[in-house]
Amino acid sequence: MGETFNSLMMGFSVAFQPEVLMYAFFGCIIGTLVGMMPGLGPLAGISLLLPATFGLNPIIAIVLLAGVYYGAMYGGSTTSILMRIPGEAASVMTCVDGYAMTQQGRAGPALAIAAIGSFFAGTFGVIGLMLMAPTLASFALRFGPPEYTALLLMGLFVLAYMSGGSMLKTLAMAVLGLLLGMIGIDVMSGYTRFSFDIVELGDGVGIVPVAVGLFGISEILLTAGQVDPPKVQQPTLRQLIPTKADLKLSVGPIMRGSLLGFMIGIIPGSAHIISSFVSYGIERRLSKHPERFGNGAIEGVAGPESANNAAATGAFVPMLALGIPTGPVTAVMLAAIMVHGILPGPMLIQQQPDLFWGFVASMYVGNVVLLVLNLPMVGLFVNLLRIPYAYLYPCILAFCILGCYSVSNSTMDVWIMLVMGGVGYVLRKFGYDLAPVALGLVLGPMLELSLRQSLAMSGGDYAIFVQRPIAVTMLVMGLILLGLALKPLIFKSKDWRSSVGLDKTID
């Protein structure tokens, strides 16, 4: 413990060097701005900034990029809450209740809770990273394709708790998402599916253009179709601050979200995306009033937002302890230090202690910076809503197109976004919930790949899933969850949906 403390102090001495501190601050600001751009998320942000770090020293480079990373996670929630535009897959769930709160004139509390939750989750994650990185990393390595398959299956079962509409509609939307996920090159065989000779579709349909289209563009279209333009909001100072009741409701979701996000985040692979979906599902299941979800429940903002920030920090565990990237974002960050001739690997902490501890310390600093930066800004952000829609929405549309294009300089992404905007418009007119589409699109390709990898490993033998303890445990838990969801169907008892009057649409 003493050693950790000394190392941390050494880390702070690195992090408080004026130059490092300045770049950490820069990173947070740039990240927040990037995150607020519709369609631009953390990955796009750090990919665009990576070249700029080549001239800096490796510690500063990684501190800057980390700042951009969690800054963008914070910033992403702002556009999700205010405009229903997710900057990245992880903020899709925030759009649902966060935007509903905005429409009720409660954008302030939603933004504040998102910032507080993110701060708590980020700090929790850094402490976990600092104290247990090597232990956790070796645990993370026990996740192979079979365990991954089991984890993703559990993610699928969460669907049952995800949307407020009828079960049939929820499943239909999930299937739509899964089908969209089929498009692109099949990694196992090298053949393309459903790409209609469009080369760009070979890499599949990205979640960001789909999410921005389904949620953001459809909202703009729906607003344009209203007879009376929506009233421009005039938030008062009082409305900006979360009430005591808000805070009380959020404590549980923030704690659970942080723990859940961190655990999912340390697993190599892109599973961290599902952390916010799972958190939302859990909060809804645990809530005494599940009917409030989807209509502006603050827990629906607190849980997922904490989960995605904790997952972002969790992703650094295998990256720093083992030199293994957990996903595209950490891969780019590793590239940033590789450029400087540091080969990331299991010896990174021992060989580059000032890099590791400086990084950890800078994350404490960064989290505080973001909280200090974001809480007072809530008022400013909310005032964006004062802009009349006739001016606001065309600007947002332009930003959506810009953001979407700049991620990979592809006009195809822009088309996907616009088409999905139209699809989202029609689906919402018919009362479909869109979050399951996003979950399906995220889960589908990952689930297919890990299932087929597992079977390739075992030579086609399904027993691989029951021979491995972690996989078995998770599958059993998943089955119990599924059983609970099916129970009302089998025993004809009342589901929570009908008991709270949600399943009226099914007739």
Residues near another protein, by CB under 8 A? 47, 50-51, 54, 141-145, 185-192, 197, 199-200, 202-203, 268-269, 318, 322-325, 328, 331-332, 334-336, 338-339, 341, 343-348, 408-410, 449, 453, 456-457, 459
Task: Tell me how far CA of residue 240 lies from CA of 58, 154, 236, 375, in angstroms.
Answer: 40, 37, 7, 10
For residue 192, the SS3 value is: strand
Task: Indicate the residue among 223 and 411 with the shorter CB distance to another protein.
Answer: 411
Task: Indicate the residue among 189 and 236 with the shorter CB distance to another protein.
Answer: 189
Place of tokens 């491995």: 468
Collect contacts of 153-157 with beta carbons under 8 A, ≥24 apart.
Answer: 153/447, 153/474, 153/475, 153/478, 154/278, 154/474, 154/477, 154/478, 154/481, 155/271, 155/274, 155/277, 155/278, 155/439, 155/443, 156/443, 156/447, 157/478, 157/481, 157/482, 157/485
Task: Indicate the residue among 457 and 479 with the shorter CB distance to another protein.
Answer: 457
For residue 430, the SS3 value is: coil
* b (16+ CB within 10 A) / e for 11-50: bbebbeeeebbebbbbbbbbbbbbbbbbbbbbbbbbbebb
Q: How many CA atoms lie within 13 A of 266 on its CB side?
A: 25
Among 51, 260, 42, 86, which residue's Cα sits nearest to residue 158? 260
Strand (E) or helix (H) holding 380: helix 353-383
Task: Indicate the residue among 3 and 197 with the shorter CB distance to another protein.
Answer: 197
From the CB of 446, what's the least distance to another protein, in Å? 9
For residue 185, the SS3 value is: strand
Task: Indicate the residue among 347 and 486 with the shorter CB distance to another protein.
Answer: 347
Task: Indicate the residue among 17 and 410 with the shorter CB distance to another protein.
Answer: 410
From the CB of 326, what's the least distance to another protein, in Å? 9
| CA pair distance 304, 279, nearest whole angstrom | 5
Task: Indicate the residue among 197 and 228 with the shorter CB distance to another protein.
Answer: 197
From the CB of 54, what's the least distance to another protein, in Å? 6
Task: Indicate the residue among 189 and 226 with the shorter CB distance to another protein.
Answer: 189
| DSSP category for residue 205 | -
Task: Indicate the residue among 202 and 469 with the shorter CB distance to another protein.
Answer: 202
| CA pair distance 267, 310, nearest whole angstrom | 12
Task: Indicate the residue among 331 and 472 with the shorter CB distance to another protein.
Answer: 331
From the CB of 344, what's the least distance to another protein, in Å? 6
Contact 65, 47 (CB under 8 A): no
Task: Indicate the residue among 45 and 213 with the shorter CB distance to another protein.
Answer: 45
Contact 258, 136 (CB under 8 A): no
Contact 342, 355 (CB under 8 A): yes
From the CB of 274, what's the least distance to another protein, in Å? 16
From the CB of 454, what's the least distance to another protein, in Å? 9
From the CB of 31, what's the least distance to another protein, in Å? 17
Q: How many residues does the chain have?
A: 507
From the CB of 194, what's the least distance to another protein, in Å? 13
From the CB of 445, what's the least distance to another protein, in Å? 8
From the CB of 10, what's the least distance to another protein, in Å? 23
Contact 279, 233 (CB under 8 A): no
| CA pair distance 357, 352, nearest whole angstrom | 9
From the CB of 141, what's the least distance to another protein, in Å? 4
